[in-house]
Structure 1
Amino acid sequence: MLNEDNHETISIFHTNDFHSHFANWPKIKRYILSGKKKERAIGNTVLTFDIGDFMDRFEPLTEATNGKAGIQFMNELDYDGVTIGNNEGLTNSKQQLDQLYEDANFDVLLANLKDPYTNALPKWANEAKLIVTPQHTRILVFGMTAPYSSTYPKLGWEVKDVYQTTERLLAKYEDQYDICILLSHLGLPTDRELAKQFPAINLILGGHTHHLLMNGELVNQTMLAAAQKWGNYVGHVTLTLANHQITEQNVSVQEVAALPSEPADLKAINKTFSMGTALLASQKVAQLDHSVKTQLLGSSEMVDLSLAALQSKAHTDSAIINTGLFLKDLPAGVIDENQIHDVLPHAMQVMKVTLDGYNLWRLIQEMEKNRNFLLRYPQKGMGFRGKVFGELHYRGIEYQKSTGEVWWHGEPLDPNRNYEVAMLDHYLYIPFFPTIQICGKNDIYFDENLRQVFARYLSEQFPIK
């Protein structure tokens, strides 16, 4: 809105870390569309952004469509720009990510990811976007995602330094903008540091660390805003300008649970879930002649099969896994992808870790020290989509509790020999087993996730007749 005193109002709606929680979507859609309509009716410029991790493969329809179903939801809001999160970038293969935004009606803004083979941005991304309001205020918007520098190259991407990228873009677009907005799937600590180092950024819309800034956070001249996770909140920022410069910033969030429901909401939610489960159920995997049980404490056939599946994938003589991964039993009969997804909804890959004998001994000491603590530890994030971490199980490795010794297939470890152990990349990212990161040679298999590895092993052991 612009009046005779050259004042203008820009209204910004933003979402982040939705993680495919489609049960919240009907309310979010209704709130944003009605909000945009009201703001435009009084003459305000309206912008809408998403800050990444919109998809999460824990949800059946997302898994069945490799995230593309979520793009159809996003299209309903006419986003002015989105960036990607690690769920888009790291739980999709390069081909899947290249195809993810084919039908998007919005711009993907991603300045810190390149294809090393072309030395260019992905074909579906733009490094930045210049938006000019009806009152001729120039707004520079750019996006960046969490720079997992050890992981993206293994998927065929090159991730760039966040600070160097920011410096380059601000220099490139100098004198071309009045306001600068960053879509940051980088996390709150990085957002705060960027605000300190780059005062030219007026507004950082954040995500990744699932933080909630109820009324924003001002760092020097830069306002930070974020709306937690899972569609629990929608963010709203109002910028008041005079002569194309910000004079006031108001930040708020709307709790989605407090919004009114409509009778059609539940039908839409159920339809979304049913579509996903039906698509997955149509893909048959194996035929079990008996049920396969799991349990949090003690051995089970589910654990035994999974350890063997990890060994088969990584071509190792040993494996480690935790029982909290397995959320359900498998019944006798023909098993489909939906049942496998119910058992293992996690975003994880198999990893082969190579350690010498001394450091393998040290890793097992770390695991044994943390064993009781982890048993009912409510693990969150890092690819885990269950409830508690559970009990650690080894194959090919024995821990002698009375002496503290570690044995390999019945023989004491040789400190100077190298050993290969199959486990999950999850163990690399959680803080309980530092030996993996410090001393391990870690090879992650990105061609299949854990559930695909398990499903393929089942299909080989129990083929459909």
Structure 2
Amino acid sequence: MREKIHIYHTNDIHSHFEKWPRIRKFLKERRDLHEANEEDVFIFDSGDFIDRWHSFTEGTLGKGNVALFNDAGYTAVTIGNNEGLTLPHDVLNHVYAQAEFDVMAANVYLPGGTRPSWALPYQIYKTSRGTKIGVTAATAYYRPLYKLLGWELSEPIAELKKQISDLQKQVDIIIVLSHLGMHDDQTIAEHNPRVDLILGGHTHHVFMNGKKVNHTTLGAAGRYGEYIGYVEAEIDTGPFLWKKFTASLFETAILDNPPNAGEYIKELDAIGKELLQTEVVTLPQPLNYSWQEHSELPAILCEALYKWCKGDCALVNSGLILSSLEKGKVTKYDLHRMLPHPINPCLVELTGAELEEVIRKAEDSALSELEFQGLGFRGIMMGKFVYHKIEIENNNQSIKIAGKPLIPEKIYHLATLDMFTFGVFLPPIKNARRKIYYLPEFVRDLMEWELKNRYI
């Protein structure tokens, strides 16, 4: 007997709740429609739903996001690097405690090789007509960073191969939830012909009508809730197994918006703001910022980075600072609004020649005026670079480190941001021979630490 199964999927929403009321309404209505026709519905997410740039996520430490998934009726999700690397170990270990959906992350382990209780290697679902659907998942292979947070990761493609091998003996359909990126998804499809559907994320790619790789359909819905993915699966299990998968996307912006959407979105921010009212310091005077000129707050952050990482010098971009601090009480909400980025401190080892190349590049106005988002940066533009223990003299002809002339052959330790080790903005940092990451602290935690040192 031929059966029709409806699969909806999201990925990389990154706590962009401005579209969530439309997504929630759409998913609930579609589920009701299909179930009224006695057809099965599954809703999946492929990671990076929890992003601590939003006050609601920060205030609830991701538990609020879990409640939103519960409310929308998700079947299963996997974690992205934002869940895995921006939540401290104990927080991630408990964030899904109230989840009414399955969480799958086949390549996430505890040290020693046991699986955390919340991370399933796979799950098997059975439709009302008896079709068995096996779902497995894996997240991006940032193994060194996960180790710093007390997790162990197995290589995702090899791990998925094991799970697929196990599932193919038990199910009619195999689905992979992947937070690995477009190129790894294609590799999985090329080497695992029994996989029917890969629902991908991480690289924020868009497949408007899916993508076929041999017998496998790939689906992807971009980022920030701009699209909702939909796959109509048709299957006939006998006497010969026949399957067909048709993928498409719904553009969220043109979907019906609930009448109370604006109030709903404001309420999420209000909840976060209320939870972040803890006082940090009381300032005797306001602290300001600028993206074009030297200003107080970027300089304070740069000095904090220098002290925290115990570097020889430090470098940050002023575009990190998104608001000033007024005289008087400063709360965690104020610091979050000023520095919402899930960006960690980092210490890199460079030769003097490499450090000089970094500084020369940082002084390029084209870089300081660059507008971008990604790599943890949740601001608008890079902004003027700010230094601590770095002096540029004689019309940019000479550079001093801690008051002494830069020596090209000498090894220096530069305190900076982890995003520069992942991006292409400053190549010597990206290619540094040694990098030390500081997790789970964000730049706003360093700012809090430095302000307390100065004003308490």
Q: Shorter chain as normaliser: what TM range? A: over 0.9
2:2 aligns to what?
7
Instruction: Letter of the 2:336 partner, please give it.
Output: H
Q: Does 1:289 align with 2:299?
A: no
Q: 2:351 aligns with which of 335, 356, 375?
A: 356
| Whole-angstrom CA distance in 2 between matches of 1:440 and 1:63 | 33
**Residue deviations 1:79-120, cap 9 Å, x none?**
22110011100101111110110111111011111112x311
Q: Does 1:394 align with 2:381?
A: no
Say which SS state the counterpart of residue 439 (structure 1) adopts: coil
Q: 1:196 aligns with which of 162, 172, 190?
A: 190
Q: List aligned pairs for 1:207-226, cutoff 5 A.
A: 207-226=201-220
1:3 aligns to what?
none
Instruction: Letter of the 1:196 partner, please give it.
Output: E
2:260 aligns to what?
264
TM-score between both structures, scaled by the size of structure 2: 0.95
Distance 1:246 1:455, change over 3 A: farther
Instruction: Letter of the 1:177 partner, please give it.
Output: V
| Whole-angstrom CA distance in 1 between matches of 2:68 and 2:2 | 34
1:277 aligns to what?
273
Structure 2 segments unaligned to the other structure (5+ residues): none
Q: 2:21 aligns with which of 18, 26, 32?
A: 26
| Whole-angstrom CA distance in 2 between matches of 1:381 and 1:418 | 30
For structure 1, which segment, 163-172 or 351-360, has the greater mean C-alpha deviation from structure 2 after superposition? 351-360
| Whole-angstrom CA distance in 1 between matches of 2:290 and 2:360 | 24
Q: List aligned pairs for 1:434-453, cutoff 5 A.
A: 434-453=427-446
Q: Does 1:94 align with 2:89?
A: yes
| Whole-angstrom CA distance in 1 between matches of 2:180 and 2:125 | 23
| Whole-angstrom CA distance in 1 between matches of 2:361 and 2:236 | 59
Check whether the contact 2:350–2:428 (CA below 8 A) recurs between aligned residues: no
2:416 aligns to what?
423
Q: Does 1:372 align with 2:368?
A: no
Q: List aligned pairs for 1:1-150, cutoff 5 A.
A: 6-116=1-111, 118-150=112-144
**Residue deviations 1:25-46, cap 9 Å, x none?**
2221111111011111212121
Question: 1:403 deviation in Å?
Answer: 6.9
2:326 aligns to what?
331
Check whether the contact 1:239–1:246 (CA below 8 A) recurs between aligned residues: no
Check whether the contact 2:420–2:430 (CA below 8 A) recurs between aligned residues: no
Check whether the contact 1:285–1:456 (CA below 8 A) recurs between aligned residues: no
Check whether the contact 1:114–1:120 (CA below 8 A) recurs between aligned residues: yes
Distance 1:292 1:440, change over 3 A: farther
| Whole-angstrom CA distance in 1 between matches of 2:196 and 2:287 | 56
| Whole-angstrom CA distance in 1 between matches of 2:392 and 2:163 | 54
Check whether the contact 2:231–2:247 (CA below 8 A) recurs between aligned residues: yes
Check whether the contact 1:128–1:142 (CA below 8 A) recurs between aligned residues: yes
TM-score between both structures, scaled by the size of structure 1: 0.94
**Residue deviations 1:358-414, cap 9 Å, x none?**
33234334434xx22212211221000000111112111223575754321232223
Instruction: Letter of the 2:162 partner, please give it.
Output: R
Instruction: Letter of the 2:139 partner, please give it.
Output: T
Say which SS state the counterpart of residue 461 (structure 1) adopts: helix
| Whole-angstrom CA distance in 1 between matches of 2:258 and 2:407 | 66
**Residue deviations 1:407-447, cap 9 Å, x none?**
21232223443322211111111112222232342111103
For structure 1, which segment, 357-366 or 54-63, has the greater mean C-alpha deviation from structure 2 after superposition? 357-366
Check whether the contact 1:144–1:162 (CA below 8 A) recurs between aligned residues: yes
1:456 aligns to what?
449
- CA RMSD, aligned part only? 1.7
Q: 2:340 aligns with which of 341, 345, 369?
A: 345
1:164 aligns to what?
158
Instruction: Letter of the 2:224 partner, please give it.
Output: W
Say which SS state the counterpart of residue 72 (structure 2) adopts: coil
Instruction: Letter of the 1:225 partner, please give it.
Output: G
| Whole-angstrom CA distance in 2 between matches of 1:417 and 1:156 | 34
| Whole-angstrom CA distance in 1 between matches of 2:390 and 2:433 | 17
Check whether the contact 1:17–1:230 (CA below 8 A) recurs between aligned residues: yes
| Whole-angstrom CA distance in 2 between matches of 1:356 and 1:98 | 40
| Whole-angstrom CA distance in 2 between matches of 1:419 and 1:251 | 52
Say which SS state the counterpart of residue 448 (structure 1) adopts: coil
| Whole-angstrom CA distance in 2 between matches of 1:133 and 1:33 | 19
| Aligned length in residues | 454
Distance 1:137 1:333, change over 3 A: same
| Whole-angstrom CA distance in 2 between matches of 1:404 and 1:149 | 41
| Whole-angstrom CA distance in 1 between matches of 2:249 and 2:390 | 51
**Residue deviations 1:160-207, cap 9 Å, x none?**
112211221122233211111000111111111211121111101111
Q: 1:227 aligns with which of 202, 221, 228?
A: 221
| Whole-angstrom CA distance in 2 between matches of 1:256 and 1:167 | 34
Check whether the contact 2:15–2:49 (CA below 8 A) recurs between aligned residues: yes
2:248 aligns to what?
252
| Whole-angstrom CA distance in 1 between matches of 2:422 and 2:430 | 8
For structure 1, which segment, 405-414 or 340-349, has the greater mean C-alpha deviation from structure 2 after superposition? 405-414
Instruction: Letter of the 1:198 partner, please give it.
Output: N
| Whole-angstrom CA distance in 2 between matches of 1:362 and 1:264 | 53
| Whole-angstrom CA distance in 2 between matches of 1:401 and 1:366 | 17
| Whole-angstrom CA distance in 2 between matches of 1:325 and 1:440 | 26
Identity %: 34
Check whether the contact 2:109–2:116 (CA below 8 A) recurs between aligned residues: yes
Check whether the contact 2:198–2:218 (CA below 8 A) recurs between aligned residues: yes
For structure 1, which segment, 438-447 or 452-461, has the greater mean C-alpha deviation from structure 2 after superposition? 438-447
